[in-house]
Copies of this chain bind each other. A is one copy, B any other.
Amino acid sequence: MTASVLSDWTPGAADKDIPPIGALLLTGVSLPAAAIFESPLAQNIAWMQRFAESHGARLSPHGKTTMAPALFRRQLEAGAWGITLATAPQCRAAFAGGVTRLLMANQLVGEPNMAIVAELIGAGAEFYCVVDSATNVTALGRYFAARGQTLNVLIELGVAEGRCGCRDSAQVEALVGVIAEQSALALVGIEGYEGMIAGGDEVAAVSAYGERLVETVRTLRASDTLRREAPIVTASGSKWFDLIAEAFDKAELREYYTPVLRPGCYVVHDHRLYAGAMADIKARNPGLIGDLQPALEVFAHVQSLPEPGLAIVALGKRDIGHEPDLPLPLRLYPLVSHPASAATAVDISRWKATHIMDQHTFLEIPRDTELAVGDVLAFGTSHPCLTFDKWRQMCLVDRELKVLDALETRF
């Protein structure tokens, strides 16, 4: 590997490091490095696809989590209907990575962003975005009419004190009228996001919201305002997907609609936030077979041991998400302190990160710990999205920590 460190480096390629395929993560890769374990990754992709299908729903995983086109392709190969994205540049990156059905779960705002989408549509993309504003609808109608293109839109139905979206059926109805005035816009369904519901009986509120989405799309279909044979109704992040799937799981929807689930984080899951959500889902659905497994970890060296009980780790906000939880210590590989058993992982899940800076994490460790500068620690996270965007390349690894592939991200 040494000989190729600089010669492999090209502008635009990975800047933290290019994971050398076939190398061992612990000794052959510049750390810190983000690792995705192949086995739970493959299992999660298959599990969620089966879950959606078992409820008669399509799966359009939220791609903003990973922005890794290689993972999008695997999700599509497993049967996903499309990929959900948050912005026009994300749609462009996904399309360039081979995704042709793009669901942008946001309003398309600003002419340079409309220009990106117009070019994607021109290049053959099947594109959908959401609308909740008459101003935006008019701007989109004019922009795409001037180009002779049709833009598929879904009305976003939000929740009071939530994020985007129409708040009630009167607003929806008014927006339907505004959309109808724009011949370049094709209203094809309803979109929502239940993740903003918080407080009170959340389970009941999420289920009721799912039903409200179904009622709304039914009403629109009955009023003959939709320009799609099987109108779309879509919602679901990674926390409440079972409740949304249940609300969408009706014979009528299976036959005459296109129900679409959009979880994103499930693909690598996590070690606390979504692990807890999954436990709740299992509790709500005792018959559920299998579950999601954490697949993303970040490996880093012990950088300094300046005082008893304190380890400084070469891992910072530039390398790993730190919200809602600081990095979660998982395992120690004693490369330096016990080289003879370097590959034998020691459980350190009782250790605790107390502080994180741009390039350093502070770890409270037992005072009698045998630890050395150069030992390697593996960390998990809560909420994977903000770890993916720290890396241009991640290491796909097997159980033995051998690098199988380099996964590029396109943030």
Complexed CA–CA distance, A373 and B307 (Å): 54
Residue pair A158, B6 in contact (C-beta under 8 Å): no
Q: Taking CB as reference atom, which chain B residue is nearest A89?
A: B16
Complexed CA–CA distance, A55 and B386 (Å): 41
Fill in one digit per residue for A358-376: 1 if any B CB lies within 8 Å of its CB, else 0.
Answer: 1110100000000011101
Fill in one digit per residue for A1-45: 1 if any B CB lies within 8 Å of its CB, else 0.
Answer: 111011001011101110000000001111100000000000000
Which residues from B are CB-within-8-Å of A336? 135, 139
Q: Which of these, B160, B362, B372, contacts A135 with CB under 8 Å?
A: B372
Q: Which of these, B307, B385, B386, contacts A161 with CB under 8 Å?
A: B307
Which residues from B are CB-within-8-Å of A164? 303-304, 306, 312, 360
Fill in one digit per residue for A76-104: 1 if any B CB lies within 8 Å of its CB, else 0.
Answer: 00000000001111001100100000000
- Residue A411 lies at the interface, judged by CB distance under 8 Å to chain B: yes
- Residue A345 lies at the interface, judged by CB distance under 8 Å to chain B: no
Number of copies: 2
Residue pair A123, B6 in contact (C-beta under 8 Å): yes
Chain B's nearest CB lies how many Å from the CB of A163?
6
Chain B's nearest CB lies how many Å from the CB of A265?
10
Chain B's nearest CB lies how many Å from the CB of A132?
6
Chain B's nearest CB lies how many Å from the CB of A83?
15
Which residues from B are CB-within-8-Å of A135? 336, 372-374
Q: Taking CB as reference atom, which chain B residue is nearest A117?
A: B5
Among A108-116, A220-228, A275-283, the one that faces the other chain is A108-116
Fill in one digit per residue for A268-286: 1 if any B CB lies within 8 Å of its CB, else 0.
Answer: 0000000000000000000
Chain B's nearest CB lies how many Å from the CB of A253?
26
- Residue A296 lies at the interface, judged by CB distance under 8 Å to chain B: no
- Residue A162 lies at the interface, judged by CB distance under 8 Å to chain B: yes
Interface, chain A (partner B; CB < 8 A): 1-3, 5-6, 9, 11-13, 15-17, 27-31, 64, 67, 86-89, 92-93, 96, 106-107, 109-113, 115-116, 118-120, 123, 132-133, 135-136, 139, 158, 160-167, 301-307, 312, 314, 317-318, 336, 357-360, 362, 372-374, 376, 385-386, 389-390, 392, 408, 410-411
